[in-house]
Chain A
Amino acid sequence: DSGVTQTPKHLITATGQRVTLRCSPRSGDLSVYWYQQSLDQGLQFLIQYYNGEERAKGNILERFSAQQFPDLHSELNLSSLELGDSALYFCASSVEGGPLWGYTFGSGTRLTVV
């Protein structure tokens, strides 16, 4: 167990729907990062939050949004889902505002859009 908790583990939904993925960072970590990994592809950085504030943005679609709550857990919201959004979504956390050292991944949420 890495200490980073992601729920749900699996999610199947239809096109056009909206889903919310949840991430609880490792105890003491202030930063949360979201990544998308499509089949046989590398990890694509989506967005980072640090202590409740958006810190960095990657290749995140406008249909996607995220937030980090006062208890430091984070949610990634995916709306108007398309078949191409099917992927593994990973959350990672670190202590500092940047991933210079401790950087831990969760076990991911597998999203299938049908």
Chain B
Amino acid sequence: KNQVEQSPQSLIILEGKNCTLQCNYTVSPFSNLRWYKQDTGRGPVSLTIMTFSENTKSNGRYTATLDADTKQSSLHITASQLSDSASYICVVSYTDKLIFGTGTRLQVFP
């Protein structure tokens, strides 16, 4: 069964600290993997998108990694800011479909 699982479900960190969010998937055949940031009550906004052959992709303080062999991805946030408080959603596409993870809710406190 095609699934995307994210961990942890929620995370609290202090401003300025780093954190890493995890995404494991069992989707096949794999097309690409995306990370989205969703502020409360707003639409998801794309952070990164990676294909099978890409291991790392950065977008400012956000760095995503992909291990297609183990079917794992991570999103690393460096020097967190209060504005990073949001849900982070991992989405895997195969053929013409998307499978959404349930997200990690990140709260950054001062």
Residues of A whose CB lies within 8 Å of any CB of B are 2, 4, 41-43, 45, 56, 88, 90, 92, 97-101, 103-108, 110
Contact = CB atoms under 8 A, between A and B. Distances in A.
B55 interface: no
B100 A2 contact: no
Q: Is the interface of A mostly helix, strand, loop or mixed?
A: loop
Nearest to B103: A42
A88 B96 CA distance: 24
B86 to A, nearest CB: 14
Interface residues of B, number: 21
A45 B41 contact: no
Interface of B: 31-32, 34, 36, 41-46, 49, 89, 93, 95-98, 100-103
Given A42-B89, A43-B89, A100-B31, A108 B96 contact: no
